[in-house]
Amino acid sequence: MDAAFTEEQHEIRRTLRELLLKRCGPDEVKAAVRTPPGYDTQLWQRLAGRLGLPGLALPTAYGGVGCGPTELALACEETGRVVLPSPLVATAALAAPLLLALGSERQRTTLLPALAAGELTATLAVPGGQLATALALTGPNDGDWAGGGRAGGIQARRVPAEGAAAPSRNGGQAAGGGWRLYGEAGQVLNGHTADVLVVAAHTGGFARSRTLLFLVRAADAGAARPGAEPGVPGLLRTRQTALDETRPQARLELRDVPAELLGEGHGDAAAVARALAATGVVAAAALAAEAVGAADTALARTVAHVQQRVQFGRPIGSFQAVQHRLADLYVALQAARSAAYYAAWSTGGGPEGDASEPGVGALALAQALEALRAVAAEAVQLHGGIGFTWEHEAHLYFKRAACDELLLGPVHRLRARAAEEAGLFPGGAAEPGGAPFAGRAPEAVEV
């Protein structure tokens, strides 16, 4: 196995880093998150048009670059360095893999080229804040995580054929597709601006209860682009106040919203669960690489600061206690980087493109989130009085670390799920609280 990056992969990193350093400093980031979309739309169009960023892991047959999860992870590492607010993760790591895995040929040819070119953005909407569970990162996704017929979820029901809507201008069959969605979902990444919503909904009633994925052509409810269709009737999207402004989230309320089943036929719940789990590995590797990039920049800026900050007549970086703290952070960062790279390689490096080891994505994400949290916390402290002020960029990395763990964590559940998938603790790892030997008597444990 050759673990070295190719020249093409190095070029992706160099080009993206050069562009982001020019266009995405701390002041630009703070200005972009306060716009209605929550990110710089002009910069996003340039990243999509010049570098093909959202289509890096999509096949060339659907307008993509034809690379894989490794290239996407490298790109996410660079965007993480500048804490770039963008719909990259929601579009390229969550929605696009599901469209590619489950979509019909008509759905793929209609939507994937537009996503790859940056003409449309997309996201995955999971009710009840169960995104990590739906992606099989913190628990098995074979349960009623989409609501199961209870309040707080999203329900899907068929409508008579005569109730189907007229064909939409942005592609294909009737926009309703014979389905209607009712319910709500919170903490949806870029949900207030995404043009295409991949919505997880419960259907089938008690007898044939199952969770399927549906497409909602939101088409930018504000009709910001010329020729865009108006918002879907019954869909209310509200941007939520989040601790990390660079990761915009929204609450979606659906009241008999017309939708289209993702895929063909009547839907296969088992195929949906497998596709979500595979997408979870891709998303975990991308977010792990992004966390590594953020931690790398935060550590570099902290090292530069302690070399300049003078106390007791000498730079504080010359004190042994400070050097030990920074050395520990560097070791943790390098371990997280190796784990993130391996997870990305493993995702697309198997015989059929599947992950070669169980739990590899969850373990990499746990390692990266821990490293970012530690680096960000030390950055705030070692910057002293300026580290905790809103004007300084240190808080951007600290809030990114906290919110990413809330989004797809916590870390101990990521590790417990990886242990369960690997079969390390049969009958125990899946117990509440993650106690590995919860199902065995104390005297049965060999020491």
Q: Give residue 223's pLDDT band: very low, low, confident or very high (50, 70, 90).
A: very low
404-421 burial, b at 16+ Cβ within 10 Å, e below that, comes to bbebbbebebbbbbbbbb
Q: How far is CA 416 from CA 139, 280, 429, in A?
A: 8, 16, 6
Terminus-to-terminus CA distance in the chain, angstroms? Answer: 37
Q: What is the mean pLDDT of residues 374-386?
A: 91
Q: Is the pLDDT of residue 115 over 80?
A: yes
* pLDDT tens-digit readout, 11-48: 999 999 999 999 999 899 999 999 999 999 999 999 99
Q: What is the mean pLDDT of residues 278-295?
A: 96
Q: pLDDT: is 178 or 283 the higher one?
A: 283
Query: Is there a contact between 177 and 164 (Cβ–Cβ < 8 Å)?
Result: yes
Q: pLDDT: is 373 or 208 the higher one?
A: 373
Q: Is the pLDDT of residue 163 over 50?
A: no
Cα 300 to Cα 333: distance, rounded to the nearest angstrom: 11
Q: For the chain, what is the mean pLDDT?
A: 85
* pLDDT tens-digit readout, 147-158: 655 566 899 998
If we measure between CA atoms, which residue out of 270, 279, 263, 269 comes closest to residue 135? 279
Pairing state between β 179-189 and 196-203: unpaired
Q: Is the pLDDT of residue 224 over 90?
A: no
If we measure between CA atoms, which residue out of 394, 370, 398 comes closest to residue 302? 394
Q: pLDDT: is 446 or 396 the higher one?
A: 396
Q: What is the mean pLDDT of residues 119-132?
A: 93
What is the predicted pLDDT for the residue at 311? 86
What is the predicted pLDDT for the residue at 343? 93
Query: Omega of the bond prior to 410 within 30 degrees of 0, cis?
Result: yes
Query: Is there a contact between 168 and 217 (Cβ–Cβ < 8 Å)?
Result: yes
Q: Give residue 160's pLDDT band: very low, low, confident or very high (50, 70, 90).
A: confident
Q: Give residue 225's pLDDT band: very low, low, confident or very high (50, 70, 90).
A: very low
Cα 433 to Cα 160: distance, rounded to the nearest angstrom: 45
Residue 363 burial (CB count, 10 A) = 23
Instruction: Please report, to the nearest 10 degrees, the dihedral formed by the alpha carbons of residues 310, 316, 319, 320 taken in order.
Output: -170
Q: pLDDT: is 256 or 209 the higher one?
A: 256
What is the predicted pLDDT for the residue at 434? 47
Domains and CATH numbers, the chain: 7-88+105-117 (1.10.540.10), 122-162+177-268 (2.40.110.10), 273-422 (1.20.140.10)
User: What's the token pair of residue 264?
Assistant: 């063909």
Q: What is the mean pLDDT of residues 173-178?
A: 50
What is the predicted pLDDT for the residue at 147? 67
Q: How far is CA 229 from the centre of its chain?
A: 27
Q: Is the pLDDT of residue 351 over 80?
A: no
By mean pLDDT, which of 73-77, 115-119, 223-227, 354-358 is the weakest?
A: 223-227
Q: How many residues does the chain have?
A: 447
Instruction: Please report, to the nearest 10 degrees, the dihedral formed by the alpha carbons of residues 293, 298, 299, 303 taken in order.
Output: 140
* pLDDT tens-digit readout, 47-78: 998 889 999 999 999 999 999 999 999 999 99
What is the predicted pLDDT for the residue at 356? 55
Scanning 259-393, the segments in alpha helix (DSSP H) are: 269-308, 320-349, 360-382
What is the predicted pLDDT for the residue at 132? 93
* pLDDT tens-digit readout, 405-445: 999 989 999 999 999 888 887 765 444 444 444 444 434 43
Q: pLDDT: is 352 or 391 the higher one?
A: 391
By mean pLDDT, which of 176-180, 199-203, 272-276, 384-388 is the weakest?
A: 176-180
- HSE-CB at 273 with a 13 A cutoff on CA atoms is 15
Instruction: Please report, to the nearest 10 degrees, the dihedral formed by the alpha carbons of residues 314, 320, 326, 332 taken in order.
Output: 170
Cα 421 to Cα 121: distance, rounded to the nearest angstrom: 32
Query: Is there a contact between 151 and 223 (Cβ–Cβ < 8 Å)?
Result: no
Query: Is there a contact between 172 and 126 (Cβ–Cβ < 8 Å)?
Result: no
3-state SS, residue 405: helix
Q: Give residue 358's pLDDT band: very low, low, confident or very high (50, 70, 90).
A: confident
Q: What is the mean pLDDT of residues 359-387?
A: 92
Cα 35 to Cα 44: distance, rounded to the nearest angstrom: 14
Q: What is the mean pLDDT of residues 79-98?
A: 96
Q: How far is CA 339 from CA 324, 363, 368, in A?
A: 23, 8, 8
What is the predicted pLDDT for the residue at 150? 59
3-state SS, residue 205: coil
3-state SS, residue 421: helix
DSSP letter string, 32-82: HTTSSSSS-HHHHHHHHHHH-GGGTTS-GGGTS----HHHHHHHHHHHHHT
Q: Give residue 161's pLDDT band: very low, low, confident or very high (50, 70, 90).
A: low
Question: Inter-axis angle of helices 7-23 and 69-81, to 10 degrees?
Answer: 30
What is the predicted pLDDT for the residue at 443? 40
User: What's the token pair of residue 30?
Assistant: 């703070």
Query: Percent of the chain having pLDDT more than 90?
Result: 65
